[in-house]
Amino acid sequence: MQILESQLRQHVRLLLKEEVYGTIATVYHGSRQPPKEFLKVFETGDASSYASTGWKPGKGVGSMYGHGLYSVWMKTDHQTFRGEYGKWLYKLKVNLHGFIIFDEAVCKKVYGKSITPLEQMKLIGKERELKNASQEELEALSNLPVANQRSANLAQDSSNFLKGRVNGIVFFGWNDGPVVLIYDPDIVTPIAWSNFNQESREFNEWRNWNASEIKQSLNRASNAGMQANTTRLQFKSINIERLATDEVFFNRVYNKLDDSQKIELAKKAMNENILMKLSDEPLPEIRAAVALNQNSLYGTKLKLSNDEDPKVRENLARNPKIELKLLAILASDSIADVRLSVVYNKKVNTKILSKFINEPIDNIRWLVSTKEKTPLEVLEAFSNDENVIIRSNIAGHENVSPELLRKLSEDPASDVRIKVAQNKLTPTDILWKYVESNRFNYALLVNPSLTTEMVMKLIKSGNDEFKEEVARSKSDAVTIDVLNILLNDVSSYVRKTAYRRIRQIKGLED
């Protein structure tokens, strides 16, 4: 049966109960999003691109029949018009070309008689798509449309195959009544909105958006209508998981993928040939996603280590599975963010960290000074750093030498000298010098190399607050002998704390 355009227009007018131009119909959608936010979804992006709206088919509101925009074609006593999906109701124009209809009455109005979804797909030029259907899916699509709610069952059985291959489906839902499920965002134009009145339990009068507010949507929807091309939708909802491993499938659809899909695929791909091909993409974001993918093999990563875009090299430096030889190359990169990512990488070793001995950027030197594997030669170089925080990190480092600690014990910054007082590698003579100076008592108290003799000296010159801290300390240097001395202190707080600590040591108190 060959359906004429004039016949289709006539049937659509009857179906939608509202003026329709060509195949453009009016539908309604309930939402919790206020008008300003809702409009942003459709007024974003480039109207000439395939994935131009902020709404993506894979991230739509519902999912029972496939992710998409669930709407109804007329007012009925169902959830949408009772405000159960939110207090906002939106009126939308949608291009009905390419929809599959499961409701018997609607199908007769549109096609003149009841015909199966298989026949409908042939009429809208989608016969080739049926070659991709399984035997079970073909059987589901071979059923004639049925009356009212029973059409929901047919829609559910067939929707897994239809989503991404057609613009949408029409059926009569159990909860929503006359449903138009839209898979393709490019054929939708927001027209007006209303809010739910709690007192009357009905929606208020419509408020229209003006043409300037919906300019992007009007332009995009009109282009989509002229193209009448549902093929582009298939690649909006394409199975990224399958693409990640199936090289044959990837090669077949590669030229149909948009940039956002390629980025998503680059993050998940597990096939080296696929990753290598994506690494040649002109868009840096795609190559950057490949660079971070832990499934990339050496050949792909080697190529990306010379990529002209710094973000690609930065992501590669962050890759947990990057080879050390590539990490070493990136350690000498001209871009600071790339070098910083190298230092952040948990695989960075002593040899690579040695390359940062003349690093000019403060925050990179700071990060290097915190790494356990930083070699002594770099620590020595950084001990003269103008940045006090960096010198403090060196003074507290586990790889620092006794000679370097002696040097830093004379540092003009007290923060640096405090770190020396805390470092277990600090020579005994330096510790005694600090004990005699009576300046860094609290720092010394946490040093594992502190001796009981030193503690005895400290409590003689310390104030009550410090002596109470000594009595509370669990340092090996604070022995029973020290605590017994504190039991005779003039301060009752010191005596009580020492008494409690003795009982803890003897197991008499928690």
Q: Using one digit for the tens of pLDDT, what is the confidence trace for 394-425?
A: 999 999 999 999 999 999 999 999 999 999 99
Is 309 strand, coil or helix? coil
Question: Which of 216, 233, 250 represents a domain boundary (last residue)?
Answer: 233
Question: Which of 184, 205, 233 represents a domain boundary (last residue)?
Answer: 233
Q: Could you tell me if 480 and 506 lie in one domain?
A: yes
The answer, yes or no, to whether residue 227 has pLDDT greater than 50, is no
Q: Could you tell me if 119 and 67 lie in one domain?
A: yes
Does residue 385 belong to any structural domain of this protein? no
Q: Could you tell me if 181 and 321 lie in one domain?
A: no
- The residue written with tokens 């840096």 in the block is 284
What is the Cα–Cα distance from 336 to 328, expressed in whole angstroms? 14
Does residue 430 belong to any structural domain of this protein? no
At residue 232, the pLDDT reads 45
Does residue 386 belong to any structural domain of this protein? no
**Band of residue 223 on the pLDDT scale cut at 50, 70, 90:** low
Does residue 391 belong to any structural domain of this protein? no
Domain that holds residue 76: 5-233
Q: Could you tell me if 223 and 319 lie in one domain?
A: no
**Tens digits of per-residue pLDDT, 302-359?**
999 999 999 999 999 999 999 999 999 999 999 999 999 999 999 999 999 999 999 9
Q: Could you tell me if 96 and 197 lie in one domain?
A: yes
What is the Cα–Cα distance from 431 to 422, expressed in whole angstroms? 9
Q: What is the number of helices (H) and of strands (E) in the chain?
A: 29, 9
End-to-end CA distance of the chain: 90
Long-range contacts, 110-115 (Cβ 8 Å, 24+):
110/8, 110/11, 110/12, 110/15, 111/1, 111/3, 111/11, 112/1, 112/3, 112/7, 112/11, 113/1, 114/144, 114/145, 115/1, 115/144, 115/145
Q: How many CB atoms lie within 10 A of CB 445?
A: 22
**Tens digits of per-residue pLDDT, 242-265?**
788 888 888 888 887 878 788 889
The answer, yes or no, to whether residue 21 has pLDDT greater than 60, is no
Q: Could you tell me if 277 and 323 lie in one domain?
A: yes
**CA dist list (Å): 272 to 132, 240, 261, 278:** 26, 16, 18, 10
Is 72 strand, coil or helix? strand
At residue 406, the pLDDT reads 97
The whole-chain average pLDDT of the chain stands at 84
The answer, yes or no, to whether residue 365 has pLDDT greater than 80, is yes
At residue 150, the pLDDT reads 78
The answer, yes or no, to whether residue 140 has pLDDT greater than 70, is yes
Percent with pLDDT over 70 in the chain: 86
Q: Could you tell me if 214 and 337 lie in one domain?
A: no
Does residue 431 belong to any structural domain of this protein? no
Q: Taking Cα atoms as reference points, which of 122, 129, 138, 140 lies closest to residue 237?
A: 129
Q: Could you tell me if 134 and 266 lie in one domain?
A: no
Does residue 355 belong to any structural domain of this protein? no
Residue bearing the bigger pLDDT, 334 or 462: 334
Q: Could you tell me if 261 and 173 lie in one domain?
A: no
- For residue 68, give the DSSP letter: B
Q: What is the rounded (10 degree) CA torsion for 398, 335, 269, 54?
A: 120
At residue 2, the pLDDT reads 43
At residue 8, the pLDDT reads 46
- Maximum mean pLDDT: which of 52-61, 172-181, 217-226, 301-310: 301-310
Q: Could you tell me if 278 and 147 lie in one domain?
A: no
Q: Could you tell me if 258 and 320 lie in one domain?
A: yes
What is the Cα–Cα distance from 216 to 383, expressed in whole angstroms? 59
Report how many domains make up the chain: 3
Give the mean pLDDT of 149-166. 82
Q: Do 344 and 323 meet the contact criterion of CB atoms below 8 Å apart? A: no
- For residue 401, give the DSSP letter: -
**Could you tell me where the beta strands, DSSP code E, fall in 174-260?**
177-182, 188-197, 202-203, 207-208
What is the Cα–Cα distance from 301 to 294, expressed in whole angstroms? 10
**Tens digits of per-residue pLDDT, 57-67?**
444 445 577 77
User: pTM of the prediction?
Assistant: 0.56
Does residue 368 belong to any structural domain of this protein? no
Q: Do 360 and 335 meet the contact criterion of CB atoms below 8 Å apart? A: no
Question: Which of 316, 332, 348 represents a domain boundary (last residue)?
Answer: 348
Percent with pLDDT over 90 in the chain: 49
Sign of the alpha-carbon torsion through 339, 343, 345, 348: positive
Give rounded-to-5 percent helix, strand, coil for the chain.
50, 10, 35
- How would DSSP label each residue in 155-185? HHHHHHHHBTTBSEEEEEETTTEEEEEE--G
Q: Could you tell me if 229 and 279 lie in one domain?
A: no
Does residue 367 belong to any structural domain of this protein? no
**CA dist list (Å): 254 to 167, 293, 324:** 21, 19, 32
Give the mean pLDDT of 222-239. 48
SS3 of 278-305 = HCCCCCHHHHHHHHHCCCCCHHHHHHHC
What is the Cα–Cα distance from 41 to 92, expressed in whole angstroms? 13
